[in-house]
Amino acid sequence: MISTDAKILEEGSPVRARMEEYGNLFGELHIVVFSKKGALDARNAAGADEGKIKISRNTFAYPTNSSSKLFYVNDAVRIGASVIAAGLTAENSVITAQDPFETGIVGKKLSEKTGLPLHIQIHTDFHSPYFKKSILNRVRIALSKKTLPHARAVRAVSERIKASLSADIAAKTSVLPIFADVEAIKAAPIRADLRAKYPQFKKIVLIASRLTKEKGIRDAIDAFAGTAASYPDAGLVILGSGPEETSLKSKVRALGLDGKVAFESWAD
């Protein structure tokens, strides 16, 4: 598995627990994770041995430990090739990439190099006009044109995304939505009381999300700013973590919303 989710490297994280569950479905699960140097601190290094973290008896994670994001792909290919050389073959193994972009390129290179079949997942509607706004995403669309034709099978999270694909790609695409255990969510005890923590807010708008560009949190802040004068007792609480955190906090300060917008750390 080629992944960009650094929370796999965090001991005790729900993402890491989910990887352990996935590992129960296979003989072995090896996960190469895009990460920068220093991402694997002492707290998260439990079970780590020479760049390999033992998550469970048969599930292992390998941080790329890259000096720059520019080296993620090359480092992941190098590590992946080493893992495959240790005994994985096309008869007993498959490569799965988290997306048809950077991780897809890693998967394609490894598949071409080793003969293992490639499986690619699509979680984002990259044909949406909103996705195409940034230069980086336009580069990613170009990458998808190289990776998806090489995939033996494709997984999309919705019928809408499958319908947006070309006929030859759609023909080998299965739709598997992201699983959510709704009953477990309903039954989970409430452990936080936002009204008690923020008594100054008569109305609370809550965003619980990864802090990434595609989640549109900047737009939500702009919308909230536009209504702040009409609802002086309202507050916006943003719960989550991600690469956009510093930028979003700067935006809040620039809009003069320091007392109206609160950030809470990522939580289980």
State pLDDT tens for residues 126-175: 998 888 888 999 999 999 999 999 999 999 999 999 999 999 999 999 99
Statement: residue 242 has pLDDT above 60: yes
Residue 180's pLDDT band (cuts 50, 70, 90): confident
Exposed, middle or buried by CB within 10 Å (0-12, 13-18, 19+), for 8? buried
78: number of Cβ within 10 Å: 13
pLDDT of residue 14: 84
* Distance (Å, whole) CA 126 – CA 214: 11
pLDDT of residue 268: 64
**Average pLDDT, whole number, for the chain?**
92
Overall average pLDDT of the 254-264 stretch = 95
* Distance (Å, whole) CA 46 – CA 55: 9
Statement: residue 191 has pLDDT above 60: yes
pLDDT of residue 39: 64
pLDDT of residue 151: 98
Has this prediction a pTM greater than 0.85? no
Overall average pLDDT of the 219-231 stretch = 94
* Distance (Å, whole) CA 106 – CA 100: 10
More confidently predicted of 47 and 183: 183
* Distance (Å, whole) CA 232 – CA 246: 25
Overall average pLDDT of the 103-108 stretch = 98
State pLDDT tens for residues 11-45: 888 899 999 999 999 999 999 999 998 766 544 54
* Distance (Å, whole) CA 156 – CA 164: 10
Q: What is the 3-state secondary structure (H, E, C) of 183-226?
A: HHHHHCCCCCCHHHHCCCCCEEEEEECCCCHHHCHHHHHHHHHH
Q: Which two tokens stand for residue 192?
A: 């936080």
Contact (CB, 8 A) for 216 and 224: no
Radius of gyration of the chain (CA): 21
**pLDDT cut 90: percent of the chain above it:** 76
> What are the angstrom distances between the C-alpha of 30 and each of 52, 95, 106?
9, 10, 14
More confidently predicted of 236 and 47: 236
Residue 78's pLDDT band (cuts 50, 70, 90): very high
* Distance (Å, whole) CA 125 – CA 136: 15
Statement: residue 214 has pLDDT above 90: no
* Distance (Å, whole) CA 237 – CA 225: 13
pLDDT of residue 50: 59
> What are the angstrom distances between the C-alpha of 149 and each of 38, 100, 144, 171?
35, 10, 8, 11
pLDDT of residue 235: 97
* Distance (Å, whole) CA 117 – CA 242: 32
pLDDT of residue 42: 42
